[in-house]
Amino acid sequence: MVTLETERLLLRQFRDDDLDAFAAMSADLEVMEFLGPVRSRRDAWRAMAMALGHWELRGYGLWAAEERSTGRLVGRIGLYNPEGWPGLEVGWALAREAWGRGYATEGGRASLDYAFDALGADHVISVIRPDNARSIAVAERLGEHYERMWELDGNEVAIYGITRP
């Protein structure tokens, strides 16, 4: 699995010792508001395992986002494209205490660069609930534009996208 470094983040594979921080983030109602129901500790572990499995199956995936200055897990950022998804997605989810610091944009930009340069992708999307203004702002800072609505598990989501420069 590839590890990326940005100015302030280390994007790396999930480790077992990430569980406490990831489970706390996944149990936070405000963090999970647009991502689905809050997760139990067991479901958070399964989500970490799924992220690792995605790397095995697709050759890319979500990274654990570690704050370089502290070594603290602040969320997950990366690429996602499970079966039935509308395309290769760049996505992010951060612990509430990491909001407002530009980490989603910083990690999202590194993920897009990886998708275009290393994977040779021509187009990358973000799947965002239409009322999630913070994520829409991140997508737009990354250069993504609204493309269409799509139904995901009975919910309408907005697809934002960017084509290879």
* Residue 1's pLDDT band (cuts 50, 70, 90): confident
Angle among Cα 18, 45, 69 to the nearest 5 degrees reads: 15
Per-residue pLDDT reduced to its tens digit, 28-82: 999 999 998 999 999 999 999 999 999 999 999 999 999 999 999 999 999 999 9
Following CA atoms 11, 17, 21, 26 in sequence, which dihedral angle do they give, to the nearest 10 degrees?
A: 90
Count Cβ neighbours within 10 Å for each residue of 18-41 and write b for 16 or more, e otherwise. bbebbbbbbeeeebeebeeebbee
Residue 66 backbone dihedrals phi, psi, to 5 degrees: -110, 130
Per residue in 83-111, pLDDT tens?
999 999 999 999 999 999 999 999 999 99
pLDDT of residue 133: 97
Segment 131-145, tens digit of pLDDT: 999 999 999 999 999
| Measured CA angle at 35 (ends 87, 158), to 5 deg | 45
Residue 73: strand pairing partners: 66
**Separation CA 126–CA 89 (nearest Å):** 5
pLDDT one-digit tens code per residue, 7-27 = 999 999 999 999 999 999 999
Tell me the whole-structure pTM to 2 decimals. 0.96
